[in-house]
Amino acid sequence: MGDASAATPPVENLVVIGSGPAGYTAALYAARANLSPLLITGFQSGGIPGGQLMTTTHVENYPGFPDGILGPELMDRMKAQALRWGTRLLECDVERVELGQRPLRLFTSEGATIETQAVILATGASANRLNLPQEGRFWSRGISACAICDGATPQFRQEELAVVGGGDSACEEAVYLTKYGSRVHLIVRGDRLRASAAMADRVLANPSITVHWNREVVDVHAADETGVSDPDQAGEDEAPWLAALTLRDRSSGASERLAVRGLFYAIGHTPNTALVRGQLELDGRGYLVTRPGRPETGIEGVFAAGDVADAEWRQGITAAASGCQAALAAERWLAHHDLAIPVERQPVDPEPVRQPVRTAVSDAANFDPEALWQKGSYALRRLYHECPRPLLVVYTSPSCGPCHVLKPQLKRVLEELGGRAQGVEIDIEADPEIAQQAGVSGTPTVHLFLNRELRQQWRGVKQRREFMAAIEGLLTVPA
Ligand SMILES: Cc1cc2nc3c(=O)[nH]c(=O)nc-3n(C[C@H](O)[C@H](O)[C@H](O)COP(=O)(O)OP(=O)(O)OC[C@H]3O[C@@H](n4cnc5c(N)ncnc54)[C@H](O)[C@@H]3O)c2cc1C
């Protein structure tokens, strides 16, 4: 967390909501202006900590990185820079805001009420769904909104996969999935790709990608609905895995089946403005309306930055730039109304950021039966058989942003438990057989074992307290 030595004002000077490029940049500027901003990262309701770039691989167009940079690494760096200058973080969602009174009031998913003089809304946007009739049945059982997170899942290996969409994200995901699938079908509503020319050319030149023009997905099906038995279906009680799509030809109206084991959505985003609906002006598509070319909203002291107020550019760099503008505007507004209580940083020049230590894959030579956190199949085999304590097994894949968010949370839980539980990480790309045996259908997946028995499992990013409660539950029950 940020500078713990900085005193917390009874009413915050400035709260930034959202931890994408807009939020972290706003916090960086506000922290350097001695406003000691509180940044509420978001956790589940409108994306994940770090925002949309956590769900992508290479970012090639963010200035300053001539060879490109991985999205999660870029966001780690932005976070580290904001923290280094004294930003304080709260890892939760804002569930409700009251902007009609002073100070402004925010209510968090952790039950806290926060009063603040100024707010920067940087809540970004969330991936759209198609809302197909049977979508819920196959969500995480073949359907995913994040190819980068879930593409390496064993069920998708050497299978036919589909991506829906015609923009840059869809093209990037289609190319990415050719690493895993036997063929990738790109389902495009129109008769051309909306992606940049460079991206479209890569897709059209790729022999592993088939583009289906003028098609829309109408529904999704299990194998039994296609009259075929499913060889991967483990037991009768288990929910079915996706086996086919129904596509409709938008020109002729004709329907056709396409056999695929994975369907990845890349059909755009909706701005995360539900929080302020009815309190601030939104445009017809739900984007926040600000003063033209400026970050001020219709309420004094409330500013907007990034994709949440930008229907047009929606890039990392434009979001970061607008975060800077919002922080400078907030600083001026606070100074003009004499509302800010400056918080001096101690030390004035912060320490350099320390590089994170990577965990080596365990083998017979370096395995430590008491270590809190280890990595790889050797450690899993040993701990599964020998560990007398609760054992958390987290299945990750290398470019999965949500995994990147979750791992430090799990490590903190284990640290707080002081050795009463242990953890092991399995990279499903390095150990696909283990992931297959464990029935992992996407990353991150967490399994909690005690004495070789699976006690609980989770999929996706969850709050620390959920893991803590589950482990403490095992520790208090006699084995
Ligand atoms: C797959 C993909 C690839 C992309 N590739 C590129 C690229 O190569 N280059 C590029 O420049 N741009 C790229 N973009 C676009 C870029 O990611 C966005 O423009 C940028 O992330 C927007 O930043 P933001 O800070 O406005 O919002 P976001 O990144 O969307 O972050 C929003 C933040 O708000 C939080 N939040 C939401 N609701 C709440 C709430 N109620 N309470 C608290 N917090 C909340 C979320 O958890 C999240 O942390 C890509 C986008 C996607 C989806």
DSSP string for 316-328: HHHHHHHHHHHHH
Share of the chain above pLDDT 70, in %: 94
Say which range, 39-53, 229-243, 289-303, has the weakest mean pLDDT: 229-243
Indicate whether 123 pLDDT > 70: yes
Which ligand 1 atom is the nearest neighbour of the CA of 53?
A: 17
Taking a C-beta distance cutoff of 8 angstroms, is the pair 166, 194 a contact?
yes
CB atoms within 10 A of CB 311: 15
Indicate whether 22 pLDDT > 50: yes
> Alpha-carbon distance 302 to 322, whole Å?
14
Which ligand 1 atom is the nearest neighbour of the CA of 274?
A: 41
User: What is the predicted pLDDT for the residue at 258?
Assistant: 97
pLDDT band at 226 (very low <50, low <70, confident <90, very high): low
Ligand 1 atom 53 nearest Cα: 52
> Alpha-carbon distance 390 to 444, whole Å?
19
Q: Which fold has domain 12-126+269-336?
A: FAD/NAD(P)-binding domain (3.50.50)
Out of 146, 149, 387, 400, which one is annotated catalytic? 400
User: What is the predicted pLDDT for the residue at 236?
Assistant: 45
Query: How many whole angstroms from 102 Cα to the centroid of ligand 1?
Result: 29
Which ligand 1 atom is the nearest neighbour of the CA of 126?
A: 30
Average pLDDT over residues 201-218: 97
User: What is the predicted pLDDT for the residue at 57?
Assistant: 75
Q: What angle do CA 108, 114, 116 make, to 5 degrees?
A: 135
Which ligand 1 atom is the nearest neighbour of the CA of 305?
A: 26
> Alpha-carbon distance 314 to 46, whole Å?
16
User: What is the predicted pLDDT for the residue at 234?
Assistant: 44
Say which range, 157-166, 281-290, 353-362, 423-432, has the weakest mean pLDDT: 353-362
Ligand 1 atom 30 nearest Cα: 124
Indicate whether 231 pLDDT > 70: no
Tell me the CATH architecture of domain 373-476. 3-Layer(aba) Sandwich (3.40)
Of 215, 221, 35, 14, nearest to 118 by C-alpha is: 14
Strand spans (E) along 99-166: 104-108, 113-121, 125-127, 143-144, 160-164
User: What is the predicted pLDDT for the residue at 184?
Assistant: 98
Is-same-fold flag (12-126+269-336; 135-265)?
yes
Out of 92, 146, 149, 403, which one is annotated catalytic? 403
Instruction: List CB contacts of 407: < 8 A, sequence separation 6 or more.
Output: 394, 396, 425, 444
User: What is the predicted pLDDT for the residue at 265?
Assistant: 95
Ligand 1 atom 20 nearest Cα: 316
List the end-to-end C-alpha distance of the chain, in Å, as a whole number: 36
pLDDT band at 223 (very low <50, low <70, confident <90, very high): confident
Q: What is the mean pLDDT of the chain?
A: 91
Q: Which fold has domain 135-265?
A: FAD/NAD(P)-binding domain (3.50.50)
> Alpha-carbon distance 49 to 19, whole Å?
6
Share of the chain above pLDDT 90, in %: 74
Backbone phi, psi, residue 157, to 5°: -65, 130
Whether the upstream peptide bond of residue 444 has omega within 30° of 0, thus cis, is yes
User: What is the predicted pLDDT for the residue at 59?
Assistant: 84
Ligand 1 atom 27 nearest Cα: 124
> Alpha-carbon distance 140 to 426, whole Å?
19
Query: How many whole angstroms from 233 Cα to the centroid of ligand 1?
Result: 36
Query: How many whole angstroms from 97 Cα to the centroid of ligand 1?
Result: 21
Query: How many whole angstroms from 332 Cα to the centroid of ligand 1?
Result: 26
Average pLDDT over residues 29-41: 97
Average pLDDT over residues 28-47: 94
Catalytic annotation present for 403: yes
Q: Is 272 in the pocket of ligand 1 (CB under 6 A)?
A: yes
Residue entry with tokens 């992992």: 440
Centroid of chain to Cα 360 = 25
Indicate whether 358 pLDDT > 90: no
Neighbour-count burial of 141, counting CB atoms closer than 10 A to its CB (0-12 exposed, 13-18 middle, 19+ buried):
middle
Ligand 1, from 44, 52, 65, 287: best to mutate by most atoms within 8 Å of Cβ? Answer: 52
pLDDT band at 23 (very low <50, low <70, confident <90, very high): very high
Q: Where are the domains of the chain?
A: 12-126+269-336, 135-265, 373-476
Whether the upstream peptide bond of residue 295 has omega within 30° of 0, thus cis, is no
> Alpha-carbon distance 176 to 152, whole Å?
10
Q: Is 21 in the pocket of ligand 1 (CB under 6 A)?
A: yes
Query: How many whole angstroms from 122 Cα to the centroid of ligand 1?
Result: 9
Of 189, 153, 156, nearest to 170 by C-alpha is: 189
pLDDT tens-place string over residues 235-279: 444 568 999 999 999 999 999 999 999 999 999 889 999 999 999
Q: Is 425 in the pocket of ligand 1 (CB under 6 A)?
A: no
Which ligand 1 atom is the nearest neighbour of the CA of 60?
A: 8
Indicate whether 1 pLDDT > 50: no
Ligand 1 atom 21 nearest Cα: 52
- Give the SS3 label for residue 257: strand
Cα torsion angle, 318, 329, 50, 457, sign: negative
Instruction: List CB contacts of 111: < 8 A, sequence separation 6 or more.
Output: none
Dump the DSSP string for 160-193. Answer: EEEEE--SHHHHHHHHHHTTTSSEEEEE-SSSS-
Average pLDDT over residues 85-112: 96
pLDDT tens-place string over residues 59-76: 888 999 999 998 999 999
Catalytic annotation present for 400: yes
pLDDT tens-place string over residues 328-337: 999 999 999 9
Which ligand 1 atom is the nearest neighbour of the CA of 322?
A: 26
Q: Is 18 in the pocket of ligand 1 (CB under 6 A)?
A: yes
Q: How far is CA 387 from CA 4, 391, 422, in A?
A: 36, 7, 8
